[in-house]
Amino acid sequence: MCLTQLSIPEFDWINEMAKNMLRITWIRRHLFHSTGIILALLLVTASLVYPSLSDVDPAKQNLLASLQNPSWAHPLGTDQLGRDILIRVLTAGRVSITASFIVLCISLILGTVIGMLAGLTGGMVDEVSMRLVDVFLSFPSMILALAMIGTLGPGFWNLIFALAITWWPPYARLVRSKVLALKSSNYIIAAGILGASKLYIMRKHLLPALIGPVTVLLSLDVGFVILAIAGLGFLGLGIQPPAPEWGTMLVDARPFMQLGLQMVLPPGLAILIMILGFNCLSEALDEWLNPKLNVL
């Protein structure tokens, strides 16, 4: 019997202690999730809004003001070329957020279509689709993206294409597994007996049921796509200068780390906040959509 189910009067204090421990765990977890989500949302909002309101050019160089410490004029200091680090970090955030949004939209559409067709059709279509998914999943996504960018060349749209091509298989597998589980349900079978087409069943019954698990996976992937973009930028194969990008900013800061951390910390913390925030968002959505995961 669980401690929280003890009803003997002598053990009431154990029951209360167990409940208090569960409450403390719940509060700590939700406080951590809330903090991460709020920080990520603040960074996303600042990245999307502040560069449009500021009159500072992120590419403008001023060698006389290079490597300055944080001040009122430059809240995060300046880099080796005298460029304002704050505006560059937030502009890079806008670029990374836009790129990750496009990558995930392409991956979601491609994976949903392939997974839906494989699950509904079955047979040879299912077999060929899943073997194709297995081929893509057999390679690490970053290695495959590096190979594609090495072939196509660096650039914004080549980066988008390389990441989208390597990111769609998990969505296809998730959608297929959900479709296989749902199409054997009584209401799906009844709809087919009544003459409903596969397109109608997909639009009215299957797609609404996929919103929850796909949203959780999407929110989890945002941080990892941003990390992949920064990693490719760090290797010089991502978004090219003069456009600011977090990975490129970290590379530029390496020779100047001994002079100060104002060039390293802002882009590094931005990447950390995005990954942490969207991971917390994914866990919160998963718990909200699956009440059984709630400890209280």
- For residue 180, give the CATH number of its domain: 1.10.3720.10
- Residue-level pLDDT at 21: 58
Share of the chain above pLDDT 70, in %: 87
- Let me know if residue 60 belongs to a domain: no
- Let me know if residue 69 belongs to a domain: no
- Let me know if residue 59 belongs to a domain: no
- Let me know if residue 67 belongs to a domain: no
- Residue-level pLDDT at 204: 76
- Let me know if residue 226 belongs to a domain: yes
Q: What confidence tens digit (pLDDT) does each residue in 206-235 have?
A: 888 888 888 888 988 998 999 999 999 888
| Structural domains counted in the chain | 1
- Residue-level pLDDT at 24: 56
- Residue-level pLDDT at 239: 85
- Residue-level pLDDT at 9: 52
- Residue-level pLDDT at 98: 92
- Residue-level pLDDT at 47: 92
- Let me know if residue 289 belongs to a domain: yes
Bridge partners for 84 per DSSP: 78
pTM value is 0.82
- Let me know if residue 154 belongs to a domain: yes
- Residue-level pLDDT at 26: 53
User: Which domain range does residue 279 map to?
Assistant: 10-54+88-263+271-293
Task: Point out the residues of the chain with pLDDT beneath 70.
Answer: 1-29, 290-296
- Residue-level pLDDT at 295: 47
- Let me know if residue 147 belongs to a domain: yes
